[in-house]
Amino acid sequence: MGEKKVALITGGSRGIGRACALEFAKADFDVAIVYAGNEEAANKTVEELKAIGSDATAYKFDIANEEEVNAGVASVIEKYGRIDVLVNNAGITRDNLFLRMNSADWNAVINTNLTGVYNVSKPVVKLMMKQRSGSIVNMSSIVGVMGNAGQANYSAAKAGLIGMTKSLAKELASRNIRVNAIAPGFINTDMTKGLDPEKFAEHIPLKRLGEPEDIAKTAKFLAVDGTYITGQVIGVDGGLVV
Ligand code: NAP
């Protein structure tokens, strides 16, 4: 067990989660990342984190599976002894127009993007309450604020996450645990690789897609510097929702 602060980042192997992991490592955190199955990406990110001095570990478990989560988070606590920051970032899409969306697509997205956050937060909040300190950052989406055709499942989960963020902020404030959400716009990751960047950029006031680092800097700000901020949803979307 090290002396440093510890950040647990779900979906930390790729995209926004990977950028968050690197940002926290640069801020002198030891970083535990969670991934679903892409071993190669997870190992590569761990090597990058170690190269900047973080005692990093990758944990493979499915955040939608409560038993796997409990065993996985127990391993994190066994190794690091504490968790100062939780970034609930892992998420998936299964887009389709509503009448074509089957219950498997509905359930997969709700179970991962919303219930998955419940599953991971439960044992982590228990620990943070004992520590009497902690900060949680939930990765929502502008789609949870404004809706999007073809994403009824995803927007429902991301809007649910905003409600959960506000409720937990109120419930946990007395224990010195802050809970905030980020609502990213369109960010350049594997999740959005089907989108035409130029076509999307036209509609964004800052005229570009966001980069994972744009989100990571905000996550670090909320978790580390934003000591009087709780229950907020910060849009990081190039001005798309104002
Ligand atoms: P991404 O590139 O597709 O990466 C997803 C990450 O989540 C990977 O590390 C993946 O692990 C992990 N993951 C997925 N399902 C999991 C599960 N069931 N259990 C554990 N880990 C799981 O996604 P991203 O674009 O970086 O998005 C990150 C978050 O930001 C998501 O919550 C997404 O909804 C949100 N967001 C993204 C955008 C955007 O434009 N990209 C916009 C708004 C919000 P493997 O590598 O093992 O698959």
Over residues 163-182, the pLDDT tens digits come to 999 999 999 999 999 999 99
Mutate to test the pocket of ligand 1, among 61, 89, 203 (most ligand atoms within 8 A of CB): 89
- Over 90: is that where the pLDDT of 240 sits? yes
| pLDDT per residue as tens digits for the range 8-50 | 999 999 999 999 999 999 999 999 999 999 999 999 999 999 9
- The whole-number average pLDDT for the span 95-121 is 98
Which residue has the CA at smallest separation from atom 34 of ligand 1?
91
| Ligand 1 geometric centre to CA of 151 (Å) | 15
Alpha-carbon distances of 11 from 33, 73, 89, 195, rounded to whole Å: 7, 14, 6, 21
pTM: 0.98
CB distance 240 to ligand 1 below 6 Å: no
103 Cα: distance to centroid of ligand 1 (angstroms): 21
Average pLDDT, the chain: 97
Class of domain 6-236: alpha beta
